[in-house]
Every structure is written in C-alpha cells, then in structure tokens.
Structure 1
Amino acid sequence: MIEHGADDGIYLLTGDDFGYALAVEPDPGPGAGPVRHLHWGAAITLDDARNLDARPATRAAPSGSWSQPRADQEEYVVDGGYRHDEPALSVEFADGVRSLDLRSAGVEVDVDELVIRLVDRVYPFEVMLHYRVEPGLGALVRSTELINRGAEPVLIHRAATAGWALPPRTDYRLTSLSGGYAAETQLTRRPVRIGRIVLESRTGITGHENQPWLAFDVDAGDDHGEVWSVALAWSGVWRATAQSLLDGGTHLTIGTGGELPSVLAAGERLDLPPSVGIYGGNGFDGLARRWHRYEIERVLPQPAALRPVLYNSWEATGFDVTAAGQLALARTARDLGIELFVIDDGWFRPRDDDTAGLGDWYEVPRRFPDGLRAVADEVHRMGLAFGLWVEPEMVSADSDLYRRRPDWIHRWPTREPTLQRHQYVLDFGRAEVVDWALRQLDRLVSDLDLDYLKWDVNRSLAEPYPGPRRRNPWLDHVRGFYRVLDGLRERHPELLIETCAAGGGRVDQGILSRSDWAWPSDNTDARDRLSIQHGFTQVHPTRAMACWVTDTPGVLSGRTMPLRFRFHVAMTGVLGIGADIAGWTAEESVQGRELIATYRRLRPTIQQGERFRLGAPDPERPFGVLFRSADGERIVIFAFALSIRHGARGQDLPLAGLDPTALYRDDSSGQTYSGSLLLHRGLRVELRGDYASTLITLSRVVGTSAGPSRTTS
C-alpha cells in the first residue's frame, strides 16, 4: 500500500510489518537532492513520516568537509554538487561535464507501485526511480531507468540500482554470504566502522566469494532483533558499498559493477537490475523465511513442482561415457528409487578430457553407436526422466566451433586471448552468438526429448572488449545469457534447469528466476556442506538447493563419513545422488533405497514446508534443521552432531516453529509432547560418536490441547 499527503510530497510505502517513507520536493534548488529518505524499518504512520521530515537534516555540527546532502538522507545519490559520499550514478556529458543536478518532474502512484521521474536541470537526461511493494511478502523492489533524450551520447561511469539508507546508529554489524570455491555461502559477520566496506564480483558472474546479498543488524539473533537486508537480482559483475559516517549515518549502494565506462547513445535507455529490500523484526531465522517466501512467490519459475530425486553419473564414469555404461547405471538408479537420470560432461565430441569439444554439442558416435536418442528413450522406458550437462557459454580452443568462429570470444583485438581450463568464453553480448546458443540448446532438448539441463560455467569472464561503440560487454553478456534462458523456457516451459558455475559461482535472484534450483558448491563433503547449506538457506529456499550424496572418502576433503549422515545432510535440500552406485555394497544399496524412499515420502514437507534452524553447525553440540508442513500438521527434524564425547548422554534440542498449545506425537515411538515443552526444553536426541545424525518426524495431534497429563520429558 502507498499513502501520500496532498501537499507535502511525503510518500509512505507499507507492506507486511514494514514501512518505507520518502519525501519528494519538486524544486529544492541547485545541488539539493529532490528525493529525501525518511525511514526504512518497522511499520509507521503517515504522521510519523511527517514528524521525521520535520526533524533537522543534520545530526551533528555542520562542517564544510561534509558531503551535502548526506548519502543516508537521499534516495538516489548522484555525482554532482557538493557530494563526497558514495554515489549511485556518475555520468559524463558530451561537453566533458561530470555532474548531475536533478529535479523532480512528476510522481505516479498505482496501487503498490511508485514511480518518480527526475530530470537534469540543463541536459536532456532522465532518471526514473521505481518502487514496488510486494503485498504479504514484506519486500520492497526497487529498479532504476536511465534515459538519454538528447542528441549526444552520455558516458556512464557508474550506475547502481539503488541506495538503501538505514536508521542512524553507530554500532551496525554486516552479515554477508562470503567464502570461495568449495566453501561458498559462509555466513560471515563483521562490524561496520567509519568508512566503506565493499563487496563485489569482478569475474563476470555472480562469484564464489560473495553473493549479492547483505544484511545489517545491531544485536539480532536467530529468533529476535531487527534486521535490514538487501539483494541484487543480477548474474554478472556487481558491487555493494556500505558507508558508515561519524554521526551514525549508514548507507548501502548496490548495483552492477565493472571498471569499464559505457556509452548511452542518443535516445537510448538503460534498465538497471532490480534490488530487493526486506526488513524483519524477528531475527535472522524469521528473515530467512521472508526471503524464502519472496523467492518462492516472485522469483522461481516453477515453485510448486516437487523436485525429483536426481542421479548424476559424473563421479561414477568421469569422461568414460558409453551407452552401455550409462544404461547400466540408469537401471541401478531406477532400482534405488531415483527419478531423474543425468549424464554429465563427456557425452559430446571430442571429449575424452577437458581439453577439447566445448561448443561442438553433438554426441560421440563411438560412445553411442545407436545414437544418444536411443539412450534417452531407454531411460524414459525405465520410468526415469532424462537430462544432460552443458556449458554453452564456453568454447574449447580445440573445437570445430572455435576454428570456424574465433571472433566469437571475449578478447582484446591486439592481445592474445587468455586460455583458462583449456577454454574461452563466448561473447553472449553478440546477437549471432545468442541465436546460435539458443538454436543448439533447442535442438538438443527437442531431438532428445530432454527433461532437464544442468547449465555450467567453469571459468570467469575476462578481457571484455567494448568495441568502437563503447558498449558494456559485462552487462551485454548477462543480458544475452538471460535471452537464451528465456527463449529456452518459452519453447520448453516444463524443462527443468539447474544453474551451476564451478559450484556456487552464479547464484542470485536473476538466475534463479530462470532456473529451478542451484548447485551450491562442488564440495559435497557432508560436514562442509552443513555450513554451506546453512548460509545458502539464509536467503534461498530449500527447493532451490541441490544436495548430493557422494562416495567416501570425499573427493575434495578426504573425510570418511557414514552413509546415513551423508544422506541426512543431503535430504535437507533437493536430494541427488552423485556416488558410484555400481560400486555400492548390498548393505549400502539397501540403506540407500530405504533413505530415498523416506525422502520421497517426506518430500512435500521438506521441499514445500517452512524451514527452521535449530542452531548453527557446531563442532561441540547437536544442531539441526526442522521442516513444518504448510498446514502445520507434519514436522520433520534432522539432528546432527559432528562429534560426541565418550559417555555423553542424550541431549535436549530445543525446537522451533511449533504451536505451544498443541500436542505432537513422535511417529516412531508414539510418545506425545506439548509444543511448549519442545520449544522451551527441547526434544531428546540420542547421538553417538562422530558424524552422527538422526531423523525424527512428529505429527500434530488433532482435536487436543496441550495439558500436563499428556506430556513427557
């Protein structure tokens, strides 16, 4: 909902327990900001917003060294006038002037959307600020358009989507999803001090080091406290700068990144990727569920579909892919209860290792004497869905495509292109490359009747040549990539797509709006995955997180862990099997079959229920994850312990998400507990040794209320 006063230019945007207020002044005078920020946080009234607008603009004695106006008091900070704080927009006009001086030229309100039109006082240049409240989701979506209405080009040095100002405080803490290859999405916290904190990706993709999501709090825990959080829906280079000032003003600027200025030609417009802000008053776990609801209802393309249990043959066969070998694995997978069979790298030509073949998306006749379609048909006859791995943005130096079109890659014209992992990056900013990629993928999906594609990218983008027109190759590549995915989905709306980038190198709301789930990391070690998945689900829902059971010792870690522990960790997401199941013992096959059947039975609650954290991964004490079905009637609990010392008794694990007035029955033992007892005292879990885990299901007792005579500890 959007409220505004008749004469004072104040606008209040309200959603699910949040308020966002700003004031538009048609002509505040040269150098002044036309849109003032008033509030973002807990819900307030329009009169509260007026009260905030009446307060003095400065919180400390004025100084000639301070930026004017202050960044945390403007909605969109531009480079110009007496501003020294972090700008969202910096441009250069044809006469060399690098200063913007904007005024308001109109405001439009349409139910839950607000659009503010800003124009420069001298040059025919416009900025359109869009705000959209997502009713019931607690989210505010912001986007920005830049329009050059003049006859001369405008050089864009920096163009961020939005600035997000926080209430003035001096003791904020910043939380990010940081890490690196094989250790993505580590929940990382640091104090916000005077100065700037910059998180970014310069790799051409979202990046392994940071996801474009940040949160700020003062003293929040999992279940209490205020948190302000922001994401960017973009799958390329990006930059987020948190700036804190001496007087407590804190401001986040977030948008696309990169060091290359680009030209906005006469008459052109530039649409910047959306940024989403979610405020929560119930701690980080409550905030996570807000983000989950938003991505489920507004981002994921097929959110209601149950994700199948997948088998990927990579770790079983590597590049040694043959029709006979893959069909043998498919039969074993079928017998275990697998639903989707995927052939990974090595099915196309010539691909005996990673030195050749990318770009030549045709099957290898010697590997598939009857054709790959015959394998696909046989897999379908087994009752399994069928899918393939692809890496469409890449081309091997040793490939027919590169020999035919060496000009299609990202490169500087006077430099030798950099070969990484024996491959180059195709320039998806070129229309002919985008058309070629879409044709190739459409042909594969149609000819083979594919149900699934795993889209991978195993190197960073580099050497982005702007060309004579000074286009932005970083932005153009991502938009071309999106066009391929959008075209593929339009032609094959039921196709399942998994996004992968050497693990979790490209996970964001831009790619998730075009993919069904994401591969969080190449690291499938169950212990490491606990912290990776803990961070991943701070933002993204369970149904968007692929989790595999692989063999032990782990390929990357060398650790040995029980099969049950590996399964339980993977069952907290979209379950997949990546192990060499042909080499499993009879006992392992029986256990795997039982656990897959259990997952399929509990899948509606795990994938489509709400997720609650029962502590963070801890080397010394039990922790877990709880899932509550949409109707609240079924509870699924996974409890873990990395190590339990000798002689330790069972421990009580406090639960979350239960109705304190209800009764819950343990489906295995028949024991009944009150919700209040389970919330405050906990459920007794019996875990022994190293890498211990257990799965417990509870059912809400219908038609009863909690009472002391019906409970037990």
Structure 2
Amino acid sequence: MTAVHHLTDRNAFLLRGDGFAYALAVTPDGDLRHLHWGGPLEPADVAALLADDARDFGSNTWSSPRAHAEELVAHGGRRLDETALKVEFADGVRALDLAYRSHTVSADQLTVRLADRHYPFAADLHYRVRGGALERWTTLVNDGETLVALDRAYSASWGLPWQPRWEATWLAGMYAAETQVTRRPLGPGRLVLESRRGIPGHAAQPWLALDAGAGDEAGAVWSVALAWSGSWRLAAELAYDGRLHVTTGVNDFDLRHPLAPGTSWTTPVTVGVYTSAGHDDLTDRWHAYERRFVVPRPDVVRPVLYNGWEATFFDVRPESQLELARRAAGLGAELFVVDDGWFAGRDDESAGIGDWTPDRAAFPDGLTPLADEVHALGMRFGVWVEPEAVSPDSDLFRAHPDWIYQWPTRPRTLARQTHLLALSRPDVRTHLVEALDALLSSAPIDALKWDLNRPLTEASDGVGNGSVWLAHVEGFYEVLDRVRARHPDVWIESCASGGGRADLGVMARTEWVWPSDQTDALERLSIQHGYTYAHSPHTMMAWVTDSPTYLTKREIPLRFRFHSAMTGLLGIGGNLAHWPSADLAEAAEYVAQYKQVRATVQYGVMRRLSGAPDDVTALSYRSPSGHQVAVFAFAPSVRHLRRTVQLRLRGLDPAAVYVDGATGTRYSGALLMHHGLRVGLVGDYASELVVLDRA
C-alpha cells in the first residue's frame, strides 16, 4: 500500500498507514485545509471529504477559520483558537498570512511548503508514515534580510473528528510518583499539559489520549506525543459545539527565539497514533512504534542490572564495590553500575560534579582494575555521570565560571548544589564530548547512567544567539549523538531525578530510562502501569531494593519486590552485602525465572487485566510468537474470603492449548479468555507469576 497519495485533480493528499488515514487539501484560495485523521480511507473517499465542508465559521465572535479545519493554525486575522505558530517581523507585525506554495512526495513522506503572502517567511510542514503512527514536524524558514522572532513554534496542529463527547487520558504525577494514569471527561475549554523546567519533568508526560468512551478492547482513540527532552506544552481545545483540536510542541514560556536572515529552525517531531480497537491496541501501537522506529538496539534483550546507589550512596570504594559485584554476579546479574560517588571530590553532593576523573584516593589506578574484575565475573561495567551539571566546588567551574546559565545582575540558583552548564554554547558541548570520551577511553566502560538533577534557571548563556530553552536540548542531543558515534558499543540509561526525562526524544538516543527514584515495589506498580500506556516495557528499568525501602520505609517481602521489578527491565539495587544467604539463594531463582520470560516481557504484547478486583494489579505478556504467556498478579492485602482471583486473559488463540509449566495444568485459550485463570493470592503483599506455554 502506497503511504502517500497526491490526488492531483483535487490538489489533495492522502496518507495511509497501518490502520489509519490522514487527509489534507489545498483550497482554491491557497489555504491548507485539514480533512481527516482516523480510520482507513481510499483515495476515492477524498471527494466526499471535500464536499463535507467542516469549516463552519459560526458567528462573528468565533475563530475564523475554525482550528479543527486548518492544517497549521497560525496567529493572524480572526484566529482566536489555540494557535501553533506566532512570530514578529522586524516592522512589528505579529500576524501571519500563509498560503500553499509547493510540495514534495516520497514513498512515506510528504512536505508541504506554506509561505507568507507578504513577507519572505515560509513554513515547511513535514509528514512521515511510520507503521501505525504518523510523524509530523515543521521547518520555519526566514528567507528575508531582517530578523524574525519566534514567539510560539509548535510542531503541529492536530484536528480530530467530531464526537458526541470526549474523554482525556494522560500521565500525571510528581517526584517518586510519576506517570499516574489520569482520566477525565473533557469539557469545553482547554486542557493544558506542560513543563517549564527545561526537561519534560515529573508532573506529566508529553503524551495524551482522547476518545469518546473507548474501552480496553473497543472504541476509537486518538493519541499525540512529543519527541522533545525540554520544556513542552500540549493543549487540547474543545469548543462547545464538540469541535476539538490539539497543539503540541516546545513550550512558548519565555521563548522569544530569533530567526536570523537566511536561516531556518526545525521543530521536534510530534507523533499521532490512532486506533479503532480501544486502549489495548493503542498501547500495542505505541510499543511497536518505539521498538521499530525509536529506541537503539531494538531487538537486543536488555541485561539484568545491578546498581550500587542504595547500597553505598557516596561511600564508593573498590573493595565494597567488588564485594557487591561478586554477589550480584552470583545472582545472575549481567551489568554492574557504579553510581554517584566514584569521582574526585565526591564525598557528598556538595562538590565534584563536572570533574569526570576517578577519585585517586579510592581508585589510584583509575577504574580499570575494578572494571576488569567485574568483567572477569561475567558482567559488563558501567558508571553514573551527570554531564550537564557542575558543582561550584569543582575544577571545571573554577576554570570556567562563565560556562553556566546565569544573569550577570541576578543571584545564581543552585539545585542539588549544582549549576547547569550552558550546552547552548559550542565550547561547552565540545568540552563535554572530550571529557566523556576521555572517561570512556580510560577504562573498559560498557554503560553510562546519564542523570540530571536540576531544572534550567537563569536562561542566559552570555552569548545570546537564541533561546537557550531550545539550544540546551539541541546541545544535549548533539553531545549524546557525538559520544555514541565515538563509542557505539556503550549503552546509555536516561535519568533525571527519576522520571524527569523519559520522552521519545531521549529514547532515540538511549537504551532505556529510569522512570522513577521510587523503588518501593508497591508504589512502583502504579508508576509502571502508567508508564507502559505510552512506552514499551523494554525501555523501563525497575529495581529490587532493600526492605524497608529507601523512600517509604515500607517492609515488603522479597517475592513481591522481584515480581514487581520483573514486569519491566529487572534491576537489583539492594545492599547485597547485608542480604542473608537464604535471600540470595531465593533472589538467584527469581533472576533465573526472569531470564526465561524476559524476551516475552520486554518485547511481547502486554495486557492490563482490568477485570481483576480494584485492589489487585494484574497484567499479562504474550511473546511475539504467541508461544509463551507470563501472567503477574499483585495484591497489597487479601481478605480471608477472597483467597484467589479469576483473571480473564486477552489476546490468546482460543483454539490453542496452554500449559502451566509449574503444575502441568492445561487450559484452552477460550477457557482462559472467557472463564479465566484462577490465581492464588494469600496474605499481605501477595504476588504470583504464572508462565503458560502453548502446547
């Protein structure tokens, strides 16, 4: 099936992907009109779309044209709805009047150029079909001889078809409680999700789903996300007559980005996913998109990790790290990561960030001896870094105090006792690339945990060539890309005080993310539940830590802790030196069991089993081949009169037979889906893992 059709007789375009279609057309006046985003259509259907004029302008007080009928809603004229583009020309004019000029079509990509009718300014609208997803972004071009200021430059406007009612689903939260599923009816007005922190932040994911009451297995759902690792904004505006449109892009908070003569700027990619088959299929489509088009090494099974942060905190010494490594290897871990505290001056969080050389008192011969020992134990070796930050008490800051974001006449803001390096500056980016290259070349290091523990403040780099809100993220991407090019075998984990930077932009450059500093296994269930609405489990790291847990002080059994972490990428972060031998032996069994199902968990089809009682969390994973099914069930406390739950599975072959490997019990797929799988949950912090193999 051809992805992009240009219907020359109607000057219209039809983009078709897996299960969706998107259509737009050029009007006789040269405007670019939005026609359709939803289920599949044929080219012959476009004539009916053009005849069904949805641009009803309403009364004189309404926006004209209506936002849902335009491809790019630009500020100007009587456009009173939420706009995606606003500029100021050198003569003070702050309105745009864009008209179609040209287009180019390839197999899966369309670019339409809109140009201002009076000024030498253009907007190139890009579209690319990616399986069941549509990527969109915009390139803004100043072809004139004077500066143009970008005050708002979103990636796209998304027009949705009329529905009798709308419900919105998004992922809200806070530090240590990220990605909580939030679902609300959408009333007239604007729902605004955003971050102004310079990173995507903990309060919300740059992701939104909209439907008219869809369930897990049925109903149309539209979803939009943004691939941007900085401040962002997503607004869904619903008019009283049921017309809905969504805009998303970089946040225009404090933006004011100058576009010099003869230059252009390209927005980040926004991604739209549509399904007619409910929220289960929406999840499948987002997971498939990430695995196929976003994350590096998409087909490589992720390793079992050990990280020593909660075991030693800043007290990082070779002998204690080696003892932890020996015990981690004994459990079956495959990657050992030394967290914060390994570098010079790092006895606590007051100093050392920015000087990425080993503490000579602890590591007189560098990291190579420890890395060699870890490799000899059969594990890969990684270290924690926070390259974008710098401590005032560091050699780097003393040498280059001008390399941070700061206002010359205002106090500097510390966060976790660090400043933020101005990655908007080429000299800072070059320094970071060289410093990380030197670190990775100094020892056999296989992985980095890349952290950031502060927001962007004092948005000035002393150079003033553009908005640092944009330039910092672009500099961050450049540094990551250059380091990966020099060290292509190094794996990178993204972290920002937990889940502060877990977006499609950073996922394109890292193997997985750390979704939260919350390692309490019970709290993690809701975090992981929400995270996997938008992201694949093969990007989600989860640790088994000590009991009582670090943040909540809650006592949780080892079994529950492991089962919770086994629903994503299994990591271990407890102080293994203090674990009794019985716990170590039990843990090794869980690691071995995880390795039997991890390909299914990481790359299979996930289902949230919502038919369980409210106090039970249950989910299943079906392997890509369909030959293995892993079912997890959790309950914080089980009443005596309900010692088991009946879980109705979804997505199985009703004619197939599935065998419980632990008991030998055989079930038909039809029985498991229509009657259910009985899972025993007894006592407090009860959990079960049932593995079914297709006979």
TM range (shorter): over 0.9
Cα distance in 2, alignment partners of residues 201 and 26 from structure 1: 40
List alignment gaps of at least 5 residues for structure 2: none
> Which residue number corresponds to residue 71 of structure 2?
75
CA shift digits 1:285-305 (9 cap, x unpaired): 211110000000000011111
Cα distance in 2, alignment partners of residues 476 and 200 from structure 1: 19
* 2:103 equivalent among 107, 132, 135: 107
Secondary structure class of the residue paired with 1:528: helix
> Is residue 675 from structure 1 mapped to residue 672 from structure 2 by the alignment?
no
Is the contact between residue 531 and residue 617 of structure 1 (CA under 8 Å) also seen in structure 2? Answer: no
Is the contact between residue 530 and residue 617 of structure 1 (CA under 8 Å) also seen in structure 2? Answer: no
Secondary structure class of the residue paired with 1:641: strand
> Is residue 212 from structure 1 mapped to residue 206 from structure 2 by the alignment?
yes
Cα distance in 1, alignment partners of residues 69 and 112 from structure 2: 17
CA shift digits 1:204-262 (9 cap, x unpaired): 00111011111101111122211100111000011111111121110100000132311
Secondary structure class of the residue paired with 1:53: helix
Cα distance in 2, alignment partners of residues 450 and 370 from structure 1: 15
Residues 477 and 557 of structure 1, relative CA distance in 2, 3 Å threshold: same
Higher mean displacement: 640-649 or 630-639: 640-649
> Which residue number corresponds to residue 358 of structure 1?
353
Cα distance in 2, alignment partners of residues 578 and 641 from structure 1: 23
Cα distance in 1, alignment partners of residues 409 and 222 from structure 2: 47
Structural mapping, 1:176-575, within 5 Å: 176-257=170-251, 258-465=253-460, 469=464, 471-575=466-570
Is the contact between residue 612 and residue 645 of structure 2 (CA under 8 Å) also seen in structure 1? Answer: no
> Which residue number corresponds to residue 683 of structure 2?
689
Cα distance in 2, alignment partners of residues 617 and 68 from structure 1: 48
Cα distance in 2, alignment partners of residues 483 and 636 from structure 1: 39
Q: CA deviation at 1:457?
A: 0.3
Q: CA deviation at 1:492?
A: 1.2
Cα distance in 2, alignment partners of residues 670 and 303 from structure 1: 34
Q: CA deviation at 1:195?
A: 1.2
CA shift digits 1:583-606 (9 cap, x unpaired): 111111110011111111222222
> Is residue 44 from structure 1 mapped to residue 41 from structure 2 by the alignment?
yes
Q: CA deviation at 1:648?
A: 2.1
Amino acid at match of 1:690: D
Is the contact between residue 534 and residue 616 of structure 1 (CA under 8 Å) also seen in structure 2? Answer: no
Is the contact between residue 525 and residue 617 of structure 2 (CA under 8 Å) also seen in structure 1? Answer: no
> Is residue 2 from structure 1 mapped to residue 4 from structure 2 by the alignment?
yes
Residues 462 and 469 of structure 1, relative CA distance in 2, 3 Å threshold: closer
Is the contact between residue 135 and residue 270 of structure 2 (CA under 8 Å) also seen in structure 1? Answer: yes
> Which residue number corresponds to residue 81 of structure 2?
85
Amino acid at match of 2:126: H
The alignment of Structure 1 onto Structure 2 pairs a total of residues equal to 692
Amino acid at match of 2:606: R
Cα distance in 1, alignment partners of residues 377 and 55 from structure 2: 71
> Is residue 609 from structure 1 mapped to residue 611 from structure 2 by the alignment?
no
Residues 26 and 410 of structure 1, relative CA distance in 2, 3 Å threshold: farther
Higher mean displacement: 421-430 or 630-639: 630-639
Cα distance in 1, alignment partners of residues 160 and 328 from structure 2: 52
Cα distance in 2, alignment partners of residues 527 and 616 from structure 1: 19
Q: CA deviation at 1:616?
A: 8.2
> Is residue 637 from structure 1 mapped to residue 631 from structure 2 by the alignment?
yes
Q: CA deviation at 1:466?
A: 6.4
Cα distance in 1, alignment partners of residues 412 and 28 from structure 2: 51
Cα distance in 1, alignment partners of residues 155 and 331 from structure 2: 48
Is the contact between residue 59 and residue 247 of structure 1 (CA under 8 Å) also seen in structure 2? Answer: no
CA shift digits 1:124-146 (9 cap, x unpaired): 00100011112xx2111101000
Is the contact between residue 291 and residue 540 of structure 1 (CA under 8 Å) also seen in structure 2? Answer: yes
Cα distance in 2, alignment partners of residues 56 and 307 from structure 1: 50
Q: Normalization by structure 2: what TM-score? A: 0.98
The percentage of aligned residue pairs carrying the same residue is 52
Q: CA deviation at 1:467?
A: 5.2
Secondary structure class of the residue paired with 1:530: helix
Secondary structure class of the residue paired with 1:374: helix
Residues 26 and 478 of structure 1, relative CA distance in 2, 3 Å threshold: farther
Cα distance in 2, alignment partners of residues 101 and 139 from structure 1: 30
Q: CA deviation at 1:468?
A: 6.5
Is the contact between residue 26 and residue 103 of structure 1 (CA under 8 Å) also seen in structure 2? Answer: no
> Is residue 118 from structure 1 mapped to residue 114 from structure 2 by the alignment?
yes
* 2:588 equivalent among 593, 597, 612: 593
Amino acid at match of 1:52: L
> Is residue 97 from structure 1 mapped to residue 99 from structure 2 by the alignment?
no
> Which residue number corresponds to residue 157 of structure 2?
163
Secondary structure class of the residue paired with 1:184: coil
Secondary structure class of the residue paired with 2:78: coil
Cα distance in 2, alignment partners of residues 469 and 99 from structure 1: 25
Is the contact between residue 26 and residue 105 of structure 1 (CA under 8 Å) also seen in structure 2? Answer: no
Cα distance in 1, alignment partners of residues 239 and 304 from structure 2: 50
Cα distance in 2, alignment partners of residues 616 and 424 from structure 1: 48
The alignment yields a C-alpha RMSD, in angstroms, of 1.4
CA shift digits 1:295-338 (9 cap, x unpaired): 00000011111111111111111111111111111111111111
Secondary structure class of the residue paired with 2:168: strand
Q: CA deviation at 1:550?
A: 0.6
Higher mean displacement: 332-341 or 67-76: 332-341
Cα distance in 1, alignment partners of residues 155 and 584 from structure 2: 51
> Which residue number corresponds to residue 15 of structure 1?
17
List alignment gaps of at least 5 residues for structure 1: 29-33, 702-713
Higher mean displacement: 42-51 or 637-646: 42-51
Structural mapping, 1:117-156, within 5 Å: 117-134=113-130, 137-156=131-150
Secondary structure class of the residue paired with 2:41: coil
Cα distance in 2, alignment partners of residues 691 and 23 from structure 1: 57
Structural mapping, 1:57-72, within 5 Å: 57-59=54-56, 62-72=58-68
Q: Normalization by structure 1: what TM-score? A: 0.95
Is the contact between residue 307 and residue 573 of structure 2 (CA under 8 Å) also seen in structure 1? Answer: yes
Secondary structure class of the residue paired with 2:534: coil
Q: CA deviation at 1:623?
A: 3.4
Q: CA deviation at 1:420?
A: 1.6
Is the contact between residue 623 and residue 653 of structure 1 (CA under 8 Å) also seen in structure 2? Answer: no
Is the contact between residue 395 and residue 401 of structure 1 (CA under 8 Å) also seen in structure 2? Answer: yes
